[in-house]
Amino acid sequence: MFIIHTVSELRQLLQLARRQNKTIGLVPTMGALHAGHLSLVQACKTQCAFTVATVFVNPTQFNNPDDLHNYPRTLKSDSVLLQNNGANILFAPGEKEIYPEPDTRVFHFGDLENVMEGKFRPGHFNGVAQVVSRLFAITQPDYAFFGEKDFQQLAIIRALVAQLEEKPVIVGCPVVREDDGLAMSSRNALLSKKQREHAPLIAATLMQAKEKAKTLPVAEVKQWAAGAINADSELEVEYIEIADEKTLQPIKQWSDAAHARLFAAVYARPVRLIDNIALN
Ligand code: PAF
């Protein structure tokens, strides 16, 4: 595996791969890799002959400076994991490589960006669109792989691709969970021992809510889930939403969506965790 830090080196290596007619797959990450990320690398390797994983903690997508400061940075162990999982390139650029000039582009995603993460993290998806569009332009991948834990991000990236010239096929990969159900996230490493013990309640609540959704109205399922999580001393709900899986717009009754999904954002302060589950 090549570990490279500059766009020019990356372009040279990709040129060689393209000359050999290799399908190029991109796995963008912010590092602190876990089995969820590695499932993206595996998915990439099954579809593509050449896998580029990127590790870049993108400052423009953080709406909270403390969150950016505290984000785990573990490049050494990330590179070992990527090497062991068969990535061909680890691209770990500095900020100036990605943003030689400040990125002032403003993206528009309509209703998709006005709910849930878009509503509670203003500017977040614009920053995601800036870095992902830049990575696509640099890498020009045939495929790009993203996790469904960030389900709204995946929808935003699909919408972004429709607006861009680079048009990789976007592949969404299922949420990977710890044995106790907690959705894998780089942020889990920031939880205290006590918070880590309590955090699986989020996934357990979503799974129980899925059962309740078979008999209760939408509003009651949301209310029950928020109550169950807020009853825990270590956890605090920022939002619980039930939305149409395609439009991500909240639904009021089950007949409003062919496929509904339950979304949660929960603080184990100061750490913020998100999760989601398909309901029907
Ligand atoms: O999901 C992430 O880790 C990030 O939002 C991404 C897509 C790598 C962009 O920085």
Residue-level pLDDT, tens digit, the chain, 280 residues: 999 999 999 999 999 999 999 999 999 999 999 999 999 999 999 999 999 999 999 999 998 999 999 999 999 999 999 999 999 999 999 999 999 999 999 999 999 999 999 999 999 999 999 999 999 999 999 999 999 999 999 999 999 999 998 789 999 999 999 999 999 999 999 999 999 999 999 999 999 999 999 999 999 999 999 999 999 999 999 999 999 999 999 999 999 999 999 999 999 999 999 999 999 7
Nearest CA to ligand 1 atom 1: 29
CA 29–ligand 1 middle distance (angstroms): 5
* CATH fold for domain 2-173: Rossmann fold (3.40.50)
Q: Which residues contact 114 (CB under 8 A, 6 or more apart)?
A: none
CATH code, residues 186-278: 3.30.1300.10
Closest by alpha carbon to 232, among 198, 262, 258?
A: 198
Within 6 Å (CB) of ligand 1, which residues are found? 28-30, 58, 61, 128, 131-132, 150, 153
Residue 38 is predicted with a pLDDT of 98
Active site residue 37: yes
Ligand 1 atom with the smallest distance to the CA of 57 is 10
Domain ranges in the chain are 2-173, 186-278
Ligand 1 atom with the smallest distance to the CA of 28 is 8
- Report d(CA 231, CA 235) in Å as an integer: 8
Closest by alpha carbon to 30, among 120, 117, 121, 149?
A: 149
CA 77–ligand 1 middle distance (angstroms): 18
- Report d(CA 205, CA 264) in Å as an integer: 10
Closest by alpha carbon to 147, among 193, 192, 204, 185?
A: 185
Closest by alpha carbon to 225, among 196, 180, 238, 250?
A: 238
Residue 166 is predicted with a pLDDT of 74
Residue 26 is predicted with a pLDDT of 98
Ligand 1 atom with the smallest distance to the CA of 30 is 3
Strands (E), 118-235: 143-147, 169-173
- Report d(CA 73, CA 273) in Å as an integer: 18
Nearest CA to ligand 1 atom 5: 128
B/e letters for 248-268, b = 16+ CB within 10 Å, e = fewer, are bebbeebeebeebbbbbbbeb
**Distances in Å between the alpha carbon of 144 and those of 115, 132, 220, 246?**
24, 10, 38, 19
Residue 232 is predicted with a pLDDT of 98
Give me the amino acid identity at 243: A
Ligand 1 atom with the smallest distance to the CA of 29 is 8
Rounded to the nearest 5 degrees, what angle is found at the Cα of 107, between the Cα atoms of 104 and 110? Answer: 150
CA 13–ligand 1 middle distance (angstroms): 23
Nearest CA to ligand 1 atom 2: 29
Pocket test for ligand 1, best of 150, 160, 173, 276 (most atoms within 8 A of CB): 150
Work out the number of other CB atoms within 10 angstroms of the CB of residue 23: 15
Q: Is 76 helix (H, G, I), strand (E, B) or coil?
A: helix
Cis peptide before 270 (omega within 30 of 0): yes
Residue 167 is predicted with a pLDDT of 84
